[in-house]
Amino acid sequence: MLRIKQRRPYYVLPSQRYDLTTKPPSRSMQKDFTFFIKFKVEDEIKNQETPSSIMMRPGMHYGLTYNQVNGNISWEFWYERDNENHFGFITTKLTPHKLTDEWTVIVRHQWRNKTFTMTIINKDGDVWSLEETYDGRLNDYTETPYNFGCGNYFQQVDDSHYFWGDYTMYGVGLIENVKYDDDAISMFMLNNENSTYELNKPIDDITFYFNFNEQNRYKVWDLSGHCNFLMLNMDVGK
């Protein structure tokens, strides 16, 4: 597992330095994809009314958030229609459950159908499934990092765009297809709980996967074999 603390976010870069990666994740969320994560929220972030980032790509933020004020989990995205940007989202309130419980969230994007689906599963096996379509073209995020624990991290942005998060991850991955159902994704995570350096049970079209068995103070090993490492963000506030 990995604890993401407030103001100590991690990121996966859209392309690794020195051309290390064999499958850059820059375009992995533009067409068909499945993003999945198991996590639980930790400490409350004082004086923060904005959502908190679980995984977001910056700009017009794109990704998974939680809201400590109202107890929601949401998937947020932006798309262009008629030369104007429009905001879309899927959200659900977890009451009577709590964000501090363990949750598995699976998000799929079907590019041709212009549809996002989000499945949320708690530790008791209860399932919430939601869907949202959009009419337009998904905004381009190809040059942006995958931020875990923040929305943006540059000094020049307003505080309301940081979206600091505080949570623990147990597994997280990204696949460039939508062919695996929820049971298959859950089984993939279970089958690879003990994997080190490479996947015991691979899956097609995987971009990155982290179970946190191999990590140091600054980096988490990518079990996909593509070298899309999850790294401590040393650029916060620059």
* Among the listed residues 60, 68, 58, the one whose alpha carbon sits nearest the alpha carbon of residue 85: 60
Architecture of domain 2-232: Sandwich (2.60)
Which pLDDT score is estimated for 95?
83
Sign of the CA dihedral with 39 first, then 110, 139, and 91 last: negative
Joined together, the tokens standing for residue 94 give 């977890």
Phi-psi region of 18 (alpha: psi -120 to 50; beta: other; left: phi over 0): left
Which pLDDT score is estimated for 46?
82
**Domain ranges for the chain:** 2-232
CA pair distance 54, 167, nearest whole angstrom: 8
CB 189 within 8 A of CB 21: no
Q: Which residues in the chain land under pLDDT 70?
A: 155-156, 237-238
CA pair distance 58, 78, nearest whole angstrom: 11
Which pLDDT score is estimated for 237?
62
Which pTM value belongs to this model?
Answer: 0.96
CB 186 within 8 A of CB 121: yes
